[in-house]
Amino acid sequence: MIRSKLIILATKHYKNSIINHIILNETTITLEGINPIEFWGIDDVNLNLLKKSFPKLRIVVRGEALKAIGDEEMLQNFQKKIQILIAHFEKFNQLTEGDIRLVVQEQSENNDKEKAPVTPANFEAEPLVFGPNGIVVRARTKNQKVMVESALHNDILFAIGPAGTGKTYTAVALAVKALKNKEVKRIILTRPAVEAGENLGFLPGDLKEKIDPYLRPLYDALDDMIPADKLKLYLENRTIEIAPLAFMRGRTLDNAFVILDEGQNATDMQLKMFLTRMGPTAKFIVTGDVTQIDLPKKSMSGLFNAITILKNISGIDIIYLTGEDVVRHKLVKKILEAYGDIQ
């Protein structure tokens, strides 16, 4: 919002007083939920570049508030460019001098006014997420790319494959991308709290402290994609929720990107319960490795039944990742081959 102020300047010229009436406009923009230090750069390098790009404006920053004072037409242009930069930062978690130059110098007045404004994102279509510290998250293998493409066209996706193929990581990246693009309002990540050879009851602490280690891989993926302060805020206000599968019972999960990780450790009834939590505007991804089932011997994995009876339903897709998709250390693939998990 641009407000106007009437500034009266009085100057003396010989014996006569000259009164000048100058109308100045100001606009205030709040960097809500954005770390000002990261946005303005080290030693305010981004802020200083912005000031040089708009020399006729007086730009003042106080905490999260950005105030600009000057000509109305120039303020409107400035406001437009700042909103583009804020949207870019929210999506990619970074703002460089090159990004600022690209936006503020994007086109001359002679350019076609109907042309969409240039943004840094126009030149980076392939990455899914720009994480903190320059981390770029993207599909790195053939089947990961198939997984990304399938998620665009299907509301339920099963991603099946051995350890190290990036199933969970890619799924979380898709969820974070959807959140940043405002396609969903929240992310829900869940796992069956099944013991992989350890006894949950003997772990120290309360229920949350006992369960959190089982959910740690989900936290690790998020750490790569969202700055620590923003992730903490998302977890506190439940924009991102990480919980055991049992906590999903009785809920309707809507306007959300929901991921069930380690789906092979869900029983038939648990998987049915999870899939039927789906609200009208939700997107679900189930990841699983059928070679690593940790359920008790008398319990059968519900993943086998699910991919069998649901495979021909429109809107549901099943993607199989293989040893060619392993993106961990090169020895991981050889280890999986030795154990017979991949051929």
Distance CA(108)–CA(119), nearest Å, equals 15
- The per-residue pLDDT for 201 is 54
- The per-residue pLDDT for 240 is 95
What band does 115 get if pLDDT is binned at 50, 70 and 90? Answer: very low
pLDDT at residue 59 above 70? Answer: yes
Superfamily of 2-123 according to CATH? K Homology domain, type 1 (3.30.1370.10)
pLDDT at residue 198 above 60? Answer: no
- The per-residue pLDDT for 118 is 46
Q: Is there a contact between 58 and 69 (Cβ–Cβ < 8 Å)?
A: yes
Please choose, from the candidates 26, 180, 163, 156, the residue with its C-alpha nearest in 3D space to the C-alpha of residue 88: 180
Q: Domain locations in the chain?
A: 2-123, 129-339
What does the mean pLDDT of the chain come to? 81
- The per-residue pLDDT for 249 is 92
pLDDT tens, residue by residue, 157-195 = 999 999 889 999 999 999 999 999 999 999 999 998 765
Instruction: Pick from 73-82, 96-105, 279-288 the range whose average pLDDT is largest.
Output: 279-288
- The per-residue pLDDT for 138 is 86
Q: Backbone dihedral region of 116: left (phi > 0), alpha (psi from -120 to 50 degrees) or beta?
A: beta
Q: Is there a contact between 78 and 54 (Cβ–Cβ < 8 Å)?
A: yes
Which range has the worst mean pLDDT, 52-66, 106-120, 131-145, 311-325? 106-120
Q: Does domain 129-339 have CATH number 3.40.50.300?
A: yes
CB atoms within 10 A of CB 260: 27
